[in-house]
């Protein structure tokens, strides 16, 4: 064995995996209870015989009318070889959106869109685009369904604190050991308890989608006529592997082939492919990985032994303990958006949380290093806290950005940390939008100007020090309240706390025999029409070949293709859901 080359390949794959987290996107947990039942006319959870299928209605305060949502769980035990895991992890889950006056049975729908999430992303992230698409199709007299898939590893999530609806209760539950309704949080799951995830890679991920489709729609001919397969970000690559996969072990028979389960493909700020090249820009392509076969074995051995983390995370910012703060911030923005927030002060004095707050809310390097002024020194409304965490003019990580408005109520300044405005920015790190930050600690109450009030006569029109407007009406597309609802009121999370490391390393090591064999039907990629929708200011802006003829959503960021409001500032319907609706009517 050439150990030096092995270590180099392993390190390269892991560096690429870490970089992917910063360039691609895709929420908090202990073992979730097993779901039981299918939705009956009473609105309660009911079960379907002994098949292990459950469907539970989801109540929503979304203003998009005429859409019925439910959470569906289908029992699909992992192979024994995966080892011990929580019972909930032998179930597959998805959010089902359908027209309220349409057919109750999915098989009777005009079309079914099945969507794979991106990195660090759960089914809840699709809430707005799913509702907008189903409602728009219903306006045209067509009844379609949108299925937002959840990865199996999200079985680990405990929603008890978020489901309380109260920020203090949630913080106490997850970080201070206090019980809610007699239940205590079992803690964030460590690497030593994730052994079963060591083999949760691309092969099992596409198998899960196939098994779910077969269970829900047993007629292969119906699937081939009615199902559109796609995804967001990394979900486009997963869709590519699904399209080329063989599921019965015999490539000569094609009724089971992935592409025979779909009538078309859709890609949301991604491409349907079997390569990460379009998504990363900086991630090495397959040709740059030496001794790739040996590298696969070394990486797999590291995952099996636990030497390598089985779930992608970082010491700060990107880990279960900090990512759940997005849902907790969403609670405040839903409950009382205009009230002065006490969340920053109420959070525990924890190095992980403190460093994350400094990274996200520091004006410059000096503020990051000293912690002064910090987020606790500013008066912010609950809406402004959430905006600061996710808006493209605030958060310095492009894969977390949406366009939800801008700060208001006081002076702002350029945010030059970690990247200065107007410099040679790397889209994967900070995005293209200029960053701003409140500039008066212990001063006025900073409020939030929602997307549809940017550019109004009372808008201060904040500008950068170089005179560049921070934003404009044509750059704001997502309603903060709807984003907050998706974060705080979904039974399957918006974000993903336990993303399987093996899924990204498999894709990075795509030229290895172990992964290459999964592409059994390469013709599947071009077997059907594909709709590609890109965010105009997203991660892929200007990097997609023109021959794909993508629909470009101007002003959108990477998350906006999922979260944008149904009516935009130009008075026109939201373009992503409009394109999906038209594609569902006539894929071509």
Q: Exposed/middle/buried for 507, CB within 10 Å: 0-12, 13-18, 19+?
A: buried
Tally of CB atoms within 10 A around 128: 27
Look over the chain and give the mean of its residue pLDDT values, rounded to a whole number. Answer: 88
Give the up-direction half-sphere exposure of residue 59: CA atoms within 13 A in the CB hemisphere: 4
- pLDDT given for residue 281 in this prediction: 38
Identify whether the C-beta of residue 444 lies closer than 8 Å to the C-beta of residue 450: no
Query: For residues 368 and 219, what is the distance between their CA atoms, to the nearest angstrom?
Result: 57
Query: Which residue would you say has higher pLDDT here, 24 or 144?
Result: 144
- pLDDT given for residue 94 in this prediction: 98
DSSP 381: B
Query: For residues 582 and 551, what is the distance between their CA atoms, to the nearest angstrom?
Result: 12
Query: For residues 197 and 341, what is the distance between their CA atoms, to the nearest angstrom?
Result: 38
**Band of pLDDT at residue 45, cut at 50, 70 and 90:** low
**Band of pLDDT at residue 267, cut at 50, 70 and 90:** very high
Q: Please give the angle made by the CA atoms of 37, 40 and 42, to the nearest 5 degrees.
A: 120
Smallest Cα–Cα separation from 330: which of 320, 340, 343? 343
Query: For residues 505 and 16, what is the distance between their CA atoms, to the nearest angstrom?
Result: 8
Q: Which long-range contacts (CB under 8 A, 24 or more apart) does 101-107 make?
A: 101/66, 101/138, 101/143, 102/138, 102/143, 103/143, 106/145, 106/216, 106/217, 107/217, 107/219, 107/222, 107/226
Share of the chain above pLDDT 70, in %: 87
Tally of CB atoms within 10 A around 296: 25
pLDDT surpassing 80 at residue 525: yes
Measured distance between the N- and C-terminal CA atoms of the chain, rounded to whole angstroms: 50
* pLDDT 10s digits, 85-138: 999 999 999 999 999 999 999 999 999 999 999 999 999 999 999 999 999 999
pLDDT surpassing 60 at residue 33: no
Query: For residues 558 and 541, what is the distance between their CA atoms, to the nearest angstrom?
Result: 10
Query: Which residue would you say has higher pLDDT here, 548 or 334?
Result: 334
Q: Facing residues of 147 across strands?
A: 96, 114
* Angle of helix 202-216 versus helix 501-508 axis, rounded to 10: 110
pLDDT surpassing 70 at residue 40: no
When pLDDT is averaged across residues 527-542 and rounded to a whole number, the result is 90
Query: For residues 153 and 177, what is the distance between their CA atoms, to the nearest angstrom?
Result: 24
Tally of CB atoms within 10 A around 248: 12
Q: Which long-range contacts (CB under 8 A, 24 or more apart) does 518-521 make?
A: 518/202, 518/203, 518/206, 518/241, 518/244, 518/245, 519/241, 519/244, 519/245, 519/274, 520/244, 520/245, 520/246, 520/251, 520/257, 521/243, 521/244, 521/245, 521/246, 521/251, 521/254, 521/257, 521/258, 521/259
Q: Looking at the chain, which residues constitute the CATH 3.40.50.1820 domain(s)?
A: 13-156+188-289+497-585
Query: For residues 258 and 264, what is the distance between their CA atoms, to the nearest angstrom?
Result: 11
The 3-state secondary structure of 411-478, one letter per residue: CEEECCCCCCCCCCCCCCCCCCCCCEEECCCCCCEEEEEEHHHCCCCCCCCCECCCCCECCCHHHCCC
Query: Which residue would you say has higher pLDDT here, 315 or 97?
Result: 97
Identify each DSSP E strand in 76-191 by its residue range: 91-99, 111-116, 144-150
- pLDDT given for residue 392 in this prediction: 95
CATH architecture, range 13-156+188-289+497-585: 3-Layer(aba) Sandwich (3.40)
Identify whether the C-beta of residue 71 lies closer than 8 Å to the C-beta of residue 38: no
Tally of CB atoms within 10 A around 368: 17
Burial code (b: 16+ CB inside 10 Å, e: under 16) for 566-580 equals: bebbeeeebbbbbbb
Identify whether the C-beta of residue 449 lies closer than 8 Å to the C-beta of residue 408: yes
pTM reported for the whole predicted model: 0.90
* Angle of helix 167-175 versus helix 320-335 axis, rounded to 10: 170
Query: For residues 363 and 425, what is the distance between their CA atoms, to the nearest angstrom?
Result: 17
Identify whether the C-beta of residue 495 lies closer than 8 Å to the C-beta of residue 326: yes
DSSP 319: S
Name every residue whose Cβ is closer than 8 Å to that of residue 579 and which is 6 or more positions away in sequence: 531, 533, 551
DSSP 188: P
When pLDDT is averaged across residues 397-407 and rounded to a whole number, the result is 92
* pLDDT 10s digits, 428-453: 567 789 999 999 999 999 999 999 99
pLDDT surpassing 50 at residue 369: yes
- pLDDT given for residue 160 in this prediction: 97
What are 394's two structure tokens?
Answer: 């605030």
Identify whether the C-beta of residue 535 lies closer than 8 Å to the C-beta of residue 403: no
**Band of pLDDT at residue 538, cut at 50, 70 and 90:** confident
Query: For residues 1 and 17, what is the distance between their CA atoms, to the nearest angstrom?
Result: 24
Tell me the pairing of strands 445-450 and 379-380.
parallel
pLDDT surpassing 50 at residue 284: no
Burial code (b: 16+ CB inside 10 Å, e: under 16) for 167-186 equals: bbbbbbbbbeeeebeeeebe
Query: For residues 162 and 236, what is the distance between their CA atoms, to the nearest angstrom?
Result: 30
- pLDDT given for residue 16 in this prediction: 40
Distance of CA 220 to the CA centre of its chain: 29
């Amino acid at each position: 064995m050439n150990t030096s080359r092995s270590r180099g390949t392993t390190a390269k794959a892991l560096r690429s995996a870490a970089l992917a987290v910063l360039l691609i996107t895709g929420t908090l947990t202990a073992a979730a209870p097993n779901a039981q039942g299918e939705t009956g006319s009473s609105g309660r959870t009911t079960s379907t015989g002994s098949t292990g299928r459950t469907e539970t209605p989801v109540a929503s305060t979304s203003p998009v009318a005429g859409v019925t949502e439910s959470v569906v769980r289908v029992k699909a035990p992992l192979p024994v070889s995966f080892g011990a895991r929580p019972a909930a992890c032998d179930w597959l889950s998805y959010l089902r959106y359908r027209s309220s006056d349409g057919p109750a049975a999915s098989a009777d729908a005009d079309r079914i869109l099945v969507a794979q999430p991106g990195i660090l992303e759960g089914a809840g992230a699709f809430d707005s685009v799913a509702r907008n698409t189903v409602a728009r199709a219903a306006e045209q007299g067509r009844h379609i369904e949108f299925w937002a898939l959840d990865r199996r590893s999200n079985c680990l999530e405990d929603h008890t604190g978020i489901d309380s609806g109260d920020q203090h209760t949630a913080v106490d539950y997850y970080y201070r050991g206090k019980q809610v309704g007699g239940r205590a949080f079992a803690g964030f799951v460590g690497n030593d308890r994730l052994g079963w995830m060591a083999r949760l890679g691309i092969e099992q991920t596409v198998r899960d989608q196939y098994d779910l489709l077969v269970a829900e729609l047993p007629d292969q001919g119906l699937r081939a006529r009615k199902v559109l397969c796609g995804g967001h970000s990394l979900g486009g690559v997963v869709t590519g592997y699904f399209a080329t996969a063989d599921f019965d072990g015999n490539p000569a028979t094609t009724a089971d082939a992935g592409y025979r389960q779909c009538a078309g493909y859709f890609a949301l700020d991604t491409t349907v492919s079997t390569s990460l090249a379009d998504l990363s820009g900086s991630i090495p392509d397959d040709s740059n990985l030496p001794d790739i076969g040996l590298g696969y074995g070394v990486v797999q051995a590291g995952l099996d032994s636990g030497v390598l983390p089985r779930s992608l995370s970082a010491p700060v910012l990107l880990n279960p303990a900090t990512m759940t703060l997005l849902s907790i911030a969403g609670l405040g923005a839903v409950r009382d958006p205009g009230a002065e927030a006490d969340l920053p002060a109420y959070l525990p004095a924890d190095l992980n949380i403190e460093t994350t707050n400094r990274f996200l809310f520091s004006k410059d390097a000096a503020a990051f290093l000293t912690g002064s002024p910090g987020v606790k020194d500013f008066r912010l409304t609950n809406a402004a806290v959430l905006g600061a965490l996710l808006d493209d003019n605030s958060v310095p990580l492009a894969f977390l950005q949406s366009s939800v408005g801008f700060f208001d109520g006081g002076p702002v300044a350029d945010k030059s940390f970690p990247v200065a405005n107007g410099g040679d920015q790397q889209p994967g790190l900070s995005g293209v939008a200029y960053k701003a930050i409140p500039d008066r600690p212990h001063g006025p109450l900073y409020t939030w100007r929602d997307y549809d009030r940017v550019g109004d006569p009372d808008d201060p029109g904040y500008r950068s020090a170089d005179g560049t407007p921070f934003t404009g009406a044509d750059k704001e597309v997502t309603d903060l309240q709807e984003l907050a609802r998706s974060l705080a009121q979904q039974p399957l999370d918006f974000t993903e706390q336990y993303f399987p490391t093996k899924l990204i390393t498999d894709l990075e090591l795509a030229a290895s025999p172990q992964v290459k064999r999964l592409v059994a039907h390469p013709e599947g990629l071009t077997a059907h029409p594909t709709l590609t929708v890109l965010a105009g200011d997203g991660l892929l802006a200007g990097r997609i070949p023109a021959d794909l003829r993508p629909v470009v959503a101007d002003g959108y960021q990477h998350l906006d293709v999922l979260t944008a409001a149904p009516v935009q500032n130009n008075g026109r319907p939201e373009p992503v859901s409009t394109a999906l609706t038209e594609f569902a009517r006539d894929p071509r």
